Amino acid sequence: MQGQPNIIIPQLINAFKQGDFVSIVKALEASPALVNVDPVVVQLYGGSLRKLTEQKKAAKVFEKGLKKFPSSTDLMNSYGNFLLESGNAIKATQLFRKASSINASSFDYKYNLARSLYAEKKHREAARLGEQLLKVRPNHISLHILLAAITVEIDDVENAEAYLTSVINIDNRNVTALNNLGNLKRGQGKLIEAIQYYELALTYAVQSSADTPLLYQNLAAVIGLNGDTESSLAVYERGLSRFPTDSGLNKEYAHFAWIKNVSSPFAFFEKQLSVENADLVVVYCELMLRIGEPSKARYWLEKLIDHTDKNTSITATAQLSCALRDLGEFEAALNLSESKLKSAQGDSVALLVEKGYALLSLKKYKDAIVVFEKVCRIAPLNQGYWTLLSTAYKANGNSTKYKKLCDYQRFVHATKLLSDGETNKNFIQELKDYLSTLHNDERHPIGQSLRNGSQTFENLLDSKHQLLQSLRSALKKRAKEFIASLKTEKKHPFLSRLSDELTFIGSWSVRLRQSGFHKSHYHSEGWLSGVLYIDVPEEVNQGGNGWLCFGRPDINGLLMDEDYAIKPEAGTVVFFPSYLWHGTNAIETENQRMTVAFDIVPKQTAS
């Protein structure tokens, strides 16, 4: 590409249209002065770097370009799209707002502003803007799909369905709309309708060679939820024959095959493993660690710790450190994490956490405190980090600091679900009868605390079933009562976030069988967790069988007794901060122990 700018720029534009991003980057690096000629050159340069995944370099190009051409709305728009794709929605919104204010007639700038507002979770503002734009372009398919996604977030499922139906009326083969309608029906528990939409989406996608792993995952999952294991496995296998190295599809298939007790659930996974498929290897090793096969994970992780991709290297190193801890090689685990931390570039929190774990296993408690205090400063909303810090305090004898985090008398609250005893008893019996129909799996899920039992899928309390909606309301009422009894404390991971605006982010039912129990664990994503007892065996009256125990960590090499325990009673719900270690003693008889468990977070107000 040689000659004057009026010759070179059209050549660059043509190269971009043809996807020749390498040539564009080479040409502009050879003639860097061109980026000062026209803002379109900055767009082409930054856009090409973005396509070549050179994100940091692309950001610098866009930043310098905007300083040179501060009034270029197209450049603002391009940079905004880059930022939105990179996860920086706040700055993207600023650019789209500015571009829209300069050129108020641009549909694209305002549409992108609606997208970034949605990414910022400013759902009501995004919806208002989207509705205004829809009056200008009523048949804009992407806008209908965006509005459907927004209205789902503000719990307006009826309008979400209307937006997607409008897309189907415009284009009855639109794969995205069909898939998203399937998602809506799945969320409503209307599995047959969900299957129909997913099947149509996949059929049309295959016909146009636009099928994706997600389409196979969605269809297979909902068929499995509908009780047809054989057909579900067949869809997974069809997807894997099309996308054999897709990590998400392999993971879901292996997980489903595992809980259905299929022989060799990881056989297909293992055939695809190679250093070239690093993402797949990382997911496989994660599964191996979760099912207690650290040696299998170690074999592959040792091949990845020096991977050229920095994120892959850090993830593999953290997982290998975990595998070494599981194998009892605590010093090796510590040395590995410390060594990688010295040279790590990028997000190294996972390595810090592994270092802290190894220090706890080695009984170097003071050093572990330093590590976990740092991690809690970096990511204060991750409840698991506070769990580990509290464990380090307890192990080191810092009783005052430990009690501040783990004041069981104050923070563990047990109460009847419904105040009237007879009403409560009858409601719990109804729940027991209904939930019994949902427990059909033969094996506990991978990566969960559950052993020798079954767990339901989907978010139980999102179901539109009247009984479960009544349960949701009752649990929220009791949660608000508990929270109202507490006082706010700044910098406390639990008390600093007190609110009466609550949302459930996860809910499920568990049924323990003979020898069933929960390993001690915590809930990283939660804030307030809870368990409602539905069916409790008589043996809870003997020797603590089936009791809920707090403060007993599950860390190899670290043995501590529980600090607090609660005897289960049908109809009782127990609330506690999500960072508290909690698990159960095993039940030994053949009688079941059934519960509903959930996680709650303070609700973010949609703006």
**Residue 585 contacts residue 521 (beta carbons within 8 Å):** no
Phi and psi angles of residue 593, each rounded to the nearest 5 degrees, phi first: -125, 110
Res 599: pLDDT: 95
**Backbone CA torsion sign across 601, 603, 604, 606:** positive
Q: The domain containing residue 552 runs over which residues?
A: 409-602
Say which residue the tokens 């949701």 belong to.
Answer: 472
312 domain-assigned:
no
What stretches in the chain show pLDDT beneath 70? Answer: 1-3, 345-346, 441-453, 514-518, 604-607
For the sheet with 564-566, list strands across it. 564-566, 548-550, 582-584
**Residue 34 contacts residue 5 (beta carbons within 8 Å):** yes
169 domain-assigned:
no
147 domain-assigned:
no
Other CB atoms closer than 10 Å to residue 579's CB: what's the count? 26
273 domain-assigned:
no
**Residue 76 contacts residue 108 (beta carbons within 8 Å):** no
DSSP 445: P
Other CB atoms closer than 10 Å to residue 255's CB: what's the count? 16
Cα–Cα distance measured from residue 322 to residue 341, given in angstroms and rounded to the nearest whole number? 15
Res 537: pLDDT: 87
456 domain-assigned:
yes
Res 446: pLDDT: 61
Cα–Cα distance measured from residue 350 to residue 354, given in angstroms and rounded to the nearest whole number? 6
Helix axes 175-187, 141-153, angle to 10 degrees: 20
Res 457: pLDDT: 76
How high is the mean pLDDT of the chain?
A: 92
Cα–Cα distance measured from residue 445 to residue 508, given in angstroms and rounded to the nearest whole number? 12
Show the DSSP H helices in 18-72 as ranges: 21-30, 39-51, 55-68
Query: SS3 of 90, please?
Result: helix
1-35 core/surface letters (b: 16 or more CB in 10 A; e: else): beeeeeebbeebeebbeeeebebbbebbeeeeebb
Task: Show the tokens assigned to 388.
Answer: 């580990």
240 domain-assigned:
no
Which residues lie across from 575 on neighbouring strands? 413, 530
Res 346: pLDDT: 66
Query: SS3 of 541, please?
Result: helix
Amino acid sitting at position 296: K
* pLDDT tens digits for range 522-570: 999 999 999 999 998 888 888 888 899 999 999 999 999 999 999 999 9
Task: Show the tokens assigned to 322.
Answer: 């975990």
CATH number at residue 467: 2.60.120.620
For the sheet with 593-602, list strands across it. 413-416, 572-577, 528-535, 593-602, 502-518, 450-455
DSSP 173: T
479 domain-assigned:
yes
Instruction: Determine which helix (DSSP H) or strand (DSSP E) holds 549, and give its type and residue range.
Output: strand 548-550
Res 53: pLDDT: 86
590 domain-assigned:
yes
Other CB atoms closer than 10 Å to residue 207's CB: what's the count? 11
Cα–Cα distance measured from residue 296 to residue 530, given in angstroms and rounded to the nearest whole number? 35
Total domains in the chain come to: 1
